[in-house]
Structure 1
């Protein structure tokens, strides 16, 4: 199977959007922390961060706090900005919300992997394991998954697109539905990273296209192609480097990505 509709799903426009956003970000970065913010976003760790404008509204101490965990996961050092805030510096609403939620992040999906080990094509956890999936031929799929009534079923985004935290929550829920659905139709090895998913949302919505509707159309096209075209079921040429690249989708699925490549690990009991 060619990636004819997978290319639509990942959106070539998103690639241009990502490079353009990165270039614009760096051009407007005036401090080390702002430059680090751009690096984190470029490397795919910015899904939970505020927009560049909101980030700049925060004082350096809050900026450093916001960057500490995503930068650490990418092996990037956060500059030491001292212990006291700049005079009169007040964190933006987005900054306050994210900074307040920072300690809670340890209990989020990544924290659930602390006792697991990445073993190439397997993630071994206490009492459970997750195996790397490849694309599957139709003979191995559950009956009816390619039928027209099997819908992706994403709800439309109804919030304020300038509220990056609301966008992140929406996309996180949408992504948690998208990944299992792609596994169901045998395309678990051809999924978008969350970063690409995030860029796709903004690119579509900026262009006046309803993200949920377009994703539903694309899912339908993928099912049609899957019925008629063979898929590439080869193993991945590369594997994730470590578990810092991974997040839990649900109790049966873990996804790892380095922005360029997505790896989906599924429990055999699913």
Structure 2
């Protein structure tokens, strides 16, 4: 009987862990991190460290860790692209690679001169005010959204037929903004509004995939498929709170339907009511 009780306690603990609202793909900021999440979903984690520890490694180490399991699971894994360092003849003009500031994320120094840190659709509306988990404007009110339990989702949104369907992205900030708006809408649709990427991370991932010669839209379809499966099987916390220091200066309007607010690397989404 005592052994049975211990087994039941262990089972309950494991069940509780499965209900955590932590989705690997929602935390993946680079292609290698997404590959890690694919391997985790396939239970192919032999010799791989915990996700947070994996994230702390540079690209070359991540590539080395993923290479064999990716091959075994037929996952394409391009090698890291080395950034050339131009050596000037003048000592004063030399800038060692290690001392160059990272523009967005420290682990993968991809240049982002083509993209601003905010979506191109940024609207500055002096009539708007952030108050009580809402953005109040002259013509509309936007409410903060979090995650949603599956029973509160529209029918069929977690089915395989529901796709991310990102629009074609070209090398322009406006084009990427349109794709970002679609991404935000789809994440809210499946009840994961509280774990979306900031625009800066979205743009960073786009460039990471471009650098590795991978298809951006297809990659997001793969990610969306895994997220839907996770969402169907896992419970989420619907609670969400705003940091006291968040202001409208941290927010961008997306297509008149959303406000996306980036505060210290975390996203807060407001939906038009």
Give TM-score, length-normalised by structure 2. 0.60
Q: Structure 1 residue 167: deviation in Å? A: 3.5
Q: Distance in 2 between matches of 1:233 and 1:12?
A: 29
Q: Structure 1 residue 236: deviation in Å? A: 3.0
Taking a change above 3 Å as real, the CA distance of residues 10 and 258 of structure 1, as seen in their structure-2 partners, is farther
Q: Give the length in aligned residue pairs.
A: 194
Q: Distance in 1 between matches of 2:22 and 2:123?
A: 36
- Which ranges of structure 1 fall in alignment gaps of 5 or more residues? 18-23, 31-37, 52-69, 74-104, 160-165
Indicate whether 1:217 and 2:229 are aligned: no
Taking a change above 3 Å as real, the CA distance of residues 121 and 183 of structure 1, as seen in their structure-2 partners, is same
Contact in 1 for aligned 2:146/2:240 (Cα 8 Å): yes
RMSD value, Cα = 3.7
Taking a change above 3 Å as real, the CA distance of residues 114 and 13 of structure 1, as seen in their structure-2 partners, is farther
Structure exhibiting the larger radius of gyration computed from Cα positions: 2
**Bigger share in helix:** 1
Match of 2:24 in 1: 4
Match of 2:185 in 1: 180
Taking a change above 3 Å as real, the CA distance of residues 13 and 239 of structure 1, as seen in their structure-2 partners, is farther
Please give the residue correspondences for 1:16-27 in structure 2 after superposition, counting only pairs within 5 Å.
none
Please give the residue correspondences for 1:1-270 in structure 2 after superposition, counting only pairs within 5 Å.
1-8=21-28, 41-42=103-104, 49-50=113-114, 109-157=121-169, 159=170, 166-236=171-241, 238=243, 241-258=246-263, 260-268=265-273
Contact in 1 for aligned 2:142/2:258 (Cα 8 Å): yes
Contact in 2 for aligned 1:189/1:263 (Cα 8 Å): yes
Give TM-score, length-normalised by structure 1. 0.60
Match of 2:141, SS state, is: strand
- Which ranges of structure 2 fall in alignment gaps of 5 or more residues? 1-20, 35-54, 60-82, 94-100, 106-110
Q: Structure 1 residue 149: deviation in Å? A: 1.1
Q: Structure 1 residue 155: deviation in Å? A: 4.0
